[in-house]
Amino acid sequence: MKLSWEALPLELRTTFRIAHGASDRRDNVLVHLDEGLGEAAAVAYHGETQAGIMAYLAAVGDIWEDDPCLLEDVLARLPAGSAAARAAIDIALHDVWGKRLGQPLYRLFGLNPARAPLTSFTIAMAAPEAMAEQAREAGLPIYKIKVGGAQDVAAVAAIRAVSSARLRVDANAGWTREQAAALIPQLADYDLELVEQPLPVGDIEGLRWLKARGLDLPIFADESIKTARDVAAHAGAVDGVVIKLMKTGGIREALRAIHTAHALGMEVMLSCMVESSVGVTAAAHLAPLCELADLDGPLLVRNDPFAGVTYDGARLCLPDLPGIGVYSVGQRL
């Protein structure tokens, strides 16, 4: 099999502001592996850059098997390094596998696409009135609200005033222990579903401390969770974990992480970075295994060159094409 790659610039519909910073575009990487497609998301706060991803891909070398069904053998030969680049190779390899067998990934995994949970829609940090307007205009049943700034309570209050949707908040590691302990009870008054990554990455004891305070609001870990080993380390400290292919290094490790979480009594939110339909559709094939979904990447992008998963409101509609089921816009393959 032949590996190649190219830049995948993505322009955002609106400025995407979270506790880590703000951006109007993302410079991702599109990977080709024979007929397979994959995507690597360059996320600065995870140490990923477009140049670094491409350098990793250039260094991979000849690790390929003649039989694309030997996924575990191929992936075991990948060198350490960029999780996003490894995810792109993993996705492309799964795409080849499904295409050559003539089946969508969800069918090869034995999953029912109708069991995929509804996805949330992300509302980036802005002035509270602007965030409320985004929610009012979108008219969707689930919102994930980015917090971690000076107006967190005001923002959630403004959104709740215009929407009866299910609300989740994501602090992106932007609070201290004391801030989280003070803010979570205030935010809970607005009928929240959960709080995502309230504390800095690695502060597992802080998460245990928060949980022991009986705040009566589920806490999910995101940035702290990359592999199944990280999931196991958070057992008893959180109620759930957020799994993203760009953190796990692809579909295979995401599956291990999902099953580990469930074995340890935690729920799973399947999520994405800012990605095109390539990366998000690949993840969506695992959605029937998860309790929650946050797979709105294509809805945030102005110039997505691909089509795959589609949205019926908040319902994820998986494509029935072989592999990940993605094709170039205007040219159904």
What are the domain boundaries of the chain?
Answer: 3-102, 108-328
Pick from 13-17, 214-218, 302-306 the range whose average pLDDT is largest.
302-306
Catalytic residues: 146, 170, 196, 222, 244
CB 272 within 8 A of CB 283: yes
Categorize the per-residue pLDDT at 45 as very low, low, confident or very high, splitting at 50, 70 and 90. confident
Average model confidence (pLDDT) across the chain: 95
Query: Residue 333: its pLDDT value, please?
Result: 43
CB 300 within 8 A of CB 124: no
Helices (H) and strands (E) in the chain, counts: 13, 15
> Alpha-carbon distance 187 to 232, whole Å?
28
Query: Residue 22: its pLDDT value, please?
Result: 73
Output the CA torsion sign for 302, 303, 304, 307.
Answer: positive
pLDDT digits (tens, 9 = 90+) for 81-132: 999 999 999 999 999 999 999 999 999 999 999 999 999 999 999 999 999 9
**Weakest-pLDDT range from 21-30, 71-80, 155-164, 234-243:** 21-30
pLDDT digits (tens, 9 = 90+) for 156-185: 999 999 999 999 999 999 999 999 999 999
Higher pLDDT, 22 or 307: 307
The domain made up of 108-328 has a fold known as: TIM Barrel (3.20.20)
Helices (H), 239-296: 245-248, 251-263, 277-284
Q: Is the pLDDT of residue 63 over 90?
A: no
Mean pLDDT of 311-329: 97
User: What's the predicted TM-score (pTM) here?
Assistant: 0.94
Categorize the per-residue pLDDT at 36 as very low, low, confident or very high, splitting at 50, 70 and 90. very high
Categorize the per-residue pLDDT at 332 as very low, low, confident or very high, splitting at 50, 70 and 90. low
Mean pLDDT of 40-46: 91
The domain made up of 3-102 has a fold known as: Enolase-like; domain 1 (3.30.390)
Helices (H), the chain: 50-59, 71-76, 83-101, 105-108, 128-138, 152-162, 177-188, 204-212, 228-233, 245-248, 251-263, 277-284, 297-300
Which residue has tokens 């607005």?
Answer: 190
